């Protein structure tokens, strides 16, 4: 979207006219940009679970129920906090890109949509982990996520092992020994956890997005100015996730809907 000077009007004047003609869309975007900065300050100084809180109880329940994973005393908190912090980082960058459009005359559409899509996935994971108030559900969802991540870590370690075995001369002997010992301990822990625990699979991110949006619809945040309360988050979230995913994967179909009412009606 280019708001360079045109017809005697400045870029700022053109933005103001566009904003007026489109129900204040740019004002809402700018307001969210400022909120991204507020969130970033929180992300720099995140809070752990307060003693005696429901989240602290979920941490304790996890440590007691699933000790073999070696996830530590704050497993639920950390699993929920990390994606939230990642989402904040993405949104903070979005805020920077939005703010610099006036000085650089560049809208950064692809970058903004990709970052928002990543933030949506991360936020959905946090909501899915904590959305149910039942401490047992929180504990077990965290364990499902823990096992998913351990499997991802196992695949990563297998890849690095292949690289080391293919070209051992590239690595110091001490590093090769340390990595081999790490893989041995990790694989033993994972095998023990798989044998000891029966764990449900996490839902797909597509399903997680839908369920988290439903949760937001049912728990409208206090800072909402009416956009969420008067509209449905679920439909918008599902549509944007599909549209934003095209940017992540480099698909061109989304270009057919850019600047069109086809996307939102």
In a domain, 85, yes or no: yes
The CA-atom distances, in angstroms, between 36 and each of 99, 180, 226, 229, 236 are 11, 42, 19, 21, 20
Whether 260 maps to a domain, the answer reads: no
Residue 141 lies in a domain: yes
Picking from 72-81, 95-104, 177-186, which range would have the lowest pLDDT averaged per residue? 95-104
User: pTM for the whole thing?
Assistant: 0.87
- Does the pLDDT value for residue 248 go beyond 80? yes
- Average confidence (pLDDT) over 226-249: 89
Let me know if residue 187 belongs to a domain.
yes
Full residue range of the structural domain in which residue 75 is found:
11-202
What pLDDT, on the 0 to 100 scale, is given for residue 263? Answer: 46
Q: Which residues contact 255 (CB under 8 A, 6 or more apart)?
A: none
Residue 81 near residue 211, CB atoms below 8 Å: no
At 152 the pLDDT is: 97
Higher pLDDT, 105 or 62: 62
Query: DSSP letter at 171?
Result: S
Q: What are 6's two structure tokens?
A: 């045109």
**Is residue 4 assigned to a domain?**
no
Per-residue model confidence as pLDDT tens digits over 158-181? 999 999 999 999 999 999 999 999
Residue environment code for 50-72, b if the CB has 16+ CB neighbours within 10 A, otherwise e: eeeeebbebbbbbbeebeebebe
For residue 180, tell me if it sits in a domain: yes
Round to whole Å and give the CA distance between 77 and 248: 28
Higher pLDDT, 138 or 14: 138
pLDDT at 264 over 50: no
Would you say residue 114 lies in a domain?
yes
Mean pLDDT across the stretch 54-59? 92
User: For the chain, what is the domain count?
Assistant: 1
């Amino acid at each position: 979207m280019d708001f360079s000077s045109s017809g005697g009007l400045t870029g700022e004047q053109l933005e103001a006219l566009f904003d007026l003609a489109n129900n204040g869309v740019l004002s809402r975007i700018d307001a969210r940009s400022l909120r991204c900065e507020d969130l970033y300050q929180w992300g720099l100084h995140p809070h752990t679970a307060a003693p005696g809180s429901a989240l602290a109880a979920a941490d304790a329940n996890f440590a007691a129920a699933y000790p073999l994973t070696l996830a530590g005393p704050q497993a639920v908190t950390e699993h929920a906090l990390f994606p939230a912090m990642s989402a904040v980082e993405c949104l903070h960058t979005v805020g920077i890109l939005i703010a610099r459009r006036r000085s650089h005359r560049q809208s950064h559409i692809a970058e903004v949509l990709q970052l928002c899509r990543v933030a949506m996935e991360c936020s959905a994971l946090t909501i899915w982990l904590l959305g149910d108030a039942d401490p047992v559900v929180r504990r077990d969802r965290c364990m499902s996520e823990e096992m998913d991540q351990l499997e991802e870590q196992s695949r990563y370690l297998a890849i690095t092992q292949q690289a080391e075995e293919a070209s051992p001369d590239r690595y110091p002997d001490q590093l090769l020994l340390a990595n081999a010992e790490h893989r041995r301990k990790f694989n033993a822990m994972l095998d023990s956890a798989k044998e000891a625990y029966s764990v449900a699979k996490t839902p797909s991110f597509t399903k997680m997005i839908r369920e988290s949006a439903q949760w937001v619809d049912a728990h409208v945040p206090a800072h909402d100015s009416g956009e969420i309360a008067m509209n449905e988050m679920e439909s918008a979230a599902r549509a944007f996730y599909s549209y934003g995913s095209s940017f992540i994967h480099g698909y061109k179909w989304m270009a057919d809907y850019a600047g069109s009412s086809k996307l939102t009606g």
